[in-house]
């Protein structure tokens, strides 16, 4: 499974002084490119905890969507090799134990491949600020990479296009239940990325019907949604 990732990892080896981030794909802006022909990355992380300043990324799951479809042959699913980390407090949540962290893929190599695979495309995640902070800090610490990608929050996307929906909560599970989606395994990065991608497609189909045509249109819609949420807090 994911033979292309394994082949890449076998062929490429980077030393601490040989990391070249200059030739990696540049992040793309959310401009006038057509929303439904654009490739979008839906991503989920597993971490050692919830503290974005001290906890660490241990697994990355992501899937690409384009032209109204989830591309099962265009995925990313890796556990990072982090044997030095203490995962005793979270192993029961994500199921990733010390043996898996010892046998995982070398962190720098995996992150380099992630950046190449994403190709600078916009990233969506559920409660994206969490994943954004973790991933950006990890990329900076491990690779010295600081270029900002475009991020969009699926937790904002869904209520923006389904304002009258009542999912009985704000979590990923609540929205999944509302639309009758089956989650194969919760707190597994690849599985959570997949269900988030399914929810994203539901929202994008609704967006298309409401006249949202470009990534810029979608970005502006989410900006408006954030303003509405702030207004409702007062």
- Per residue in 86-119, pLDDT (tens digit) is 776 666 467 677 777 888 899 999 999 999 999 9
Residue 182 falls inside a structural domain: yes
| Structural domains of the chain, count | 1
pLDDT band for position 1 (cuts 50, 70, 90):
very low
Residue 23 falls inside a structural domain: no
Residue 25 falls inside a structural domain: no
178-210 burial string, b = 16+ CB within 10 Å, else e?
A: beebebeeebbbbbbbbbbbbbbbbbbeebeee
> Who has greater pLDDT, 58 or 102?
58
Q: pLDDT exceeding 70 applies to what percent of the chain?
A: 85
pLDDT band for position 18 (cuts 50, 70, 90):
low
Residue 17 falls inside a structural domain: no
Domain with 80 in it: what CATH number?
3.30.420.10
Mind listing the pLDDT tens digit for each residue in 158-175? 999 999 999 999 899 999
Residue of 133, 131, 127, 137 lying closest to 107 (CA atoms) = 137
Boundaries of domain holding 75: 3-12+30-232
pLDDT band for position 176 (cuts 50, 70, 90):
very high
CB 70 within 8 A of CB 40: no
pLDDT of residue 16: 44
Taking all residues of the chain, what is their mean pLDDT, rounded to a whole number? 87
């Amino acid at each position: 499974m994911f033979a292309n990732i394994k082949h890449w990892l076998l062929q490429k080896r980077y030393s601490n002084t040989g990391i070249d981030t200059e030739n990696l794909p540049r992040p793309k802006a959310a401009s006038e490119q057509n929303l439904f022909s654009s490739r979008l990355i839906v991503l989920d992380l597993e971490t050692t905890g919830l503290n974005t300043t001290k906890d660490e990324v241990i697994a990355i799951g992501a899937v690409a969507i384009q032209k109204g479809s989830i591309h099962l042959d265009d995925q990313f699913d890796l556990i990072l090799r982090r044997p030095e980390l203490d995962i005793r407090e979270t192993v029961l949540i994500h199921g990733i134990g010390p043996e898996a962290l010892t046998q995982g893929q070398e962190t720098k190599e995996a992150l380099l491949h992630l950046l190449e695979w994403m190709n600078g495309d916009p990233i969506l995640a559920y409660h994206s600020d969490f994943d954004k902070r973790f991933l950006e800090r990890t990329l900076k610490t491990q690779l010295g990479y600081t270029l900002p990608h475009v991020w969009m929050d699926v937790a904002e996307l869904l209520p923006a296009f389904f304002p009258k929906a009542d999912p009985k909560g704000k979590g990923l599970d609540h929205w999944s239940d509302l639309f009758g989606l089956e989650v194969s395994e919760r707190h597994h990065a690849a599985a959570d990325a997949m269900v988030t991608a399914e929810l994203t497609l539901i929202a994008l189909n609704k967006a298309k019907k409401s006249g949202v045509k470009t990534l810029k249109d979608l970005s502006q819609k989410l900006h408006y949604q954030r303003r509405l949420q702030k207004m409702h807090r007062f």
